[in-house]
Amino acid sequence: GAKGETPERTVTVEVGRKAAVGEGLYVRLADSKKVSVLENADLLERARERVSKFRSRDLVDLARDDVVRIEIEGEKGALRIDRSDENKDRWVLAKPMAARADPDAVSEVLRKALGVMVADFVDDHAPDLARYGLAEPRLAVTLYKAGEEAEKPKTDDEKKDQETKDEKKGEEKPRPEPVKSVVLKFGAWADLKKESVYVTLGDSKSVVGVEDDDFKALNKGLADLRDKHVMALDKDRAAEVALHVPAKLAGTDKDITYALVKADGTWMVKAEGRADAKADADAVSDLLKELADLKVLYFGEGEQADIAKGFTPAGSVRVQVEKESAASGFEIGGVGQDVPALVKNLREDWVGRINPKDLTYLRKAWLEMLDKEVLSLDPKKAARLAIAAPDRTVVFEKKDDAWTMTGPVEEAERGFFATDRLDDLKGLKAEKFLAATSDFKPYGLEQGELAVTVTLEPEKEGEKPVEKTLHLAHHKDAKIVGRVAGSDVVFEVPMSLFKNMAGEPLPKELVDLFAGDVERLDVQAGGTKVQLVKQDEKWFRCDAAGRPDVEADKSKADGVVKAAVDADAVRWAAYDAKDPAPFGLDQPAVRIAVAGKEKKATVLISAKEVDAKVAALFDETPIRYAMVEGGKRIAILAGEKVKTLLEAASTLGPEKPEPKPEKAEKKNEEQKAK
């Protein structure tokens, strides 16, 4: 018939055994009594090929969630794993011992068992299973599903209650025993290369071949499926962690002892002799993850039983989980003088060895678990900002919602210095905690190089304003350290914070000229004077009469001009200096005059070193006092531009002749003598 239609007639051909004579087969039509011989026929082989092609190759027809028990019996021993009643994703070992099962390993076994595929249909009716190594299989995997609950007979009273719809409540039915659903039996290797294995299902006589990977994935023992995690921890439900880590394991001078407690959703650090402090939520999360992921290398059983016998506790980790009456955790210890790398589970009473290299957050002291935010303030509530340095104190005060600089000079804020500095301070986070100490001298933080004080408006009328002070100083390795007044914790902060706080709040331009407009450059340093003029975009060195003479190196001349006009102050040393002498500018080391068609300026560079405490605020060298001739502000210049200006005379002066070789000089002298 046409495709999709029911055929009008079906013909069934029965194939018997091989004929007594020849190579034919006995055949007959199903509705006929006549038997014929089909000579030289490959009908049986072709039929088998066709059947094999369209047969399902799935061995197991069972849903994953229906499996409640797995039994494995083979070369590695016999074991049983049961699905937990409380959590369907959790498995527990029941035999040969009660223990936690590795969820990932069990999941892989279950996936492989349910997904075994036939590689070859060997024999549908094997007369002798021993031929295939299946009479006594070397591996049997049995999958169980839940048994059906038997209805408990009701008493006469219960029947009456049911009739009146007043049945007893709360009575639990007994849990039925699981029932066998699938039994996979693995026999001998099916080929010389050991790439496939003979398999049969239960009591079936049908033999198939499966790939060796299926056999290897299911041939597991206790060591393969036992959970090696030190503790079963639901880190999301943890409410308290108490730590006592031995110094030898932590790599510290003292044992690490502190606790973490969650209160109203916030983790707090509890350390002996200290007030509770907010913990770093990310650090706590990482610690809990490390504890949840921590595994033993091996258990103190069998050949390793001696480590359990010699275990001596030296520390512990205890975790209290929400809605659990008792804490879980483990003791930390060792044998003799060894590094304490043994753990003993508090609930399950076993000892195992861990790899100390797996520990990162467990080695951290309480100081490293503190919340990184060291200063909290609302810039909108700030009323005053004071930055005290060795040479001056810059003060800003808010008046009519606008910031005004009131010290050391009074001037309306230009730009957003006060606003930007408050933004730097709000929610300030430490990069690293260094110490908790009452002696700040080793860190230079008794007063600090900078003391930044923010005065906040009182929360309520009648209350006093609140002051928060941050002390900052340079420390070794070019790091910036800080502390908040009233706290004994020393921490590290970004270098950029220090630079911003030490910066100049008022405009820093020293020269009001554009480099491209400069047409004349005069440099005087000591007894050296150099004059240059610019013509047709070229620089010429002038003669004694001031006339253009020899062409000068354009890049060098442009470099000096740019350094002079762009020499911004890193800080004003004085805003209104009546006498430049204290800064060494009455007799400057270098005078550089730049002139254009409309503007000109002379920059004076001092030979005097800037006060060491002030110079320490800046990480650039060289550093010098400078001013514009006729001006009143004294600038502090620092960095490569200062170096360019100090060397300008030698850079732009006539090139010195190269010294003659010593031998040539002697020869000339001898010739003159002759």
Question: For 429-443, what is each residue's pLDDT tens digit?
Answer: 999 999 999 999 999
Q: Element (H or E) spanning 523, and its range?
A: strand 520-525
Angle 332-336-341 (CA atoms, 0-180°, nearest 5)? 30
Percent of the chain with pLDDT over 70: 87
Would you give the DSSP letter of residue 552? Answer: P
Mean pLDDT of the chain: 90
Phi, psi of 294 (to 5 degrees): -65, 130
Interatomic CA distance for residues 129 and 145, integer angstroms = 27
273-295 confidence digits (pLDDT tens): 999 999 999 999 999 999 999 99
Interatomic CA distance for residues 40 and 22, integer angstroms = 8
Q: How remote is the C-alpha of 358 from its chain's centroid?
A: 15
CB count within 10 Å of CB 248 equals 17
Cis-peptide into 657, omega within 30 deg: no
Per-residue pLDDT at 495: 95
236-263 confidence digits (pLDDT tens): 999 999 999 999 999 999 999 999 999 9
375-387 confidence digits (pLDDT tens): 999 999 999 999 9
Decide if pLDDT at 477 tops 80: no
**Tokens 């039509």 -> residue:** 29
28-42 confidence digits (pLDDT tens): 877 777 877 766 556
* Mean pLDDT across 161-182: 67
DSSP output for 163-181: HTT----SPPPPPPPPEEE
- Which two structure tokens, joined as six digits, stand for 299? 């258990």
Per-residue pLDDT at 168: 46
Phi, psi of 535 (to 5 degrees): -135, 125
69-94 confidence digits (pLDDT tens): 999 999 999 999 999 988 888 999 99
Query: Is 480 within 8 Å of 497 (Cβ atoms)?
Result: yes
- Which two structure tokens, joined as six digits, stand for 478? 């070019």
Per-residue pLDDT at 35: 76
Decide if pLDDT at 179 tops 60: yes
Which of 417-431, 579-593, 652-666 shows the lowest per-residue confidence on average (mean pLDDT)? 652-666
513-528 confidence digits (pLDDT tens): 999 999 999 999 988 9
Interatomic CA distance for residues 655 and 551, integer angstroms = 12
Per-residue pLDDT at 170: 47
* Mean pLDDT across 496-500: 95
pLDDT band at 487 (very low <50, low <70, confident <90, very high): very high
Query: Is 635 within 8 Å of 614 (Cβ atoms)?
Result: no
pLDDT band at 169 (very low <50, low <70, confident <90, very high): very low
Could you tell me the CA-to-CA distances from 337 to 300, 312, 315, 358, 544 in Å, in that order?
A: 18, 10, 14, 21, 86
* Mean pLDDT across 45-73: 83
Extents of the domains making up the chain: 13-54, 64-148+177-225, 235-369, 373-502, 515-652
Query: Is 346 within 8 Å of 331 (Cβ atoms)?
Result: yes
Q: Report the first-to-last Cα separation within the chain, whole angstroms.
A: 133
Nearest by Cα to 199 from 122, 147, 107, 303: 122
Decide if pLDDT at 452 tops 60: yes
Fold of the domain built from segment(s) 373-502: Immunoglobulin-like (2.60.40)
Q: Which is higher by pLDDT, 237 or 10?
A: 237
What angle do helix axes 495-502 and 417-425 make, rounded to 10 degrees?
Answer: 150
Q: Which is higher by pLDDT, 671 or 387?
A: 387
Q: pTM score, two decimals?
A: 0.76
Decide if pLDDT at 135 tops 70: yes
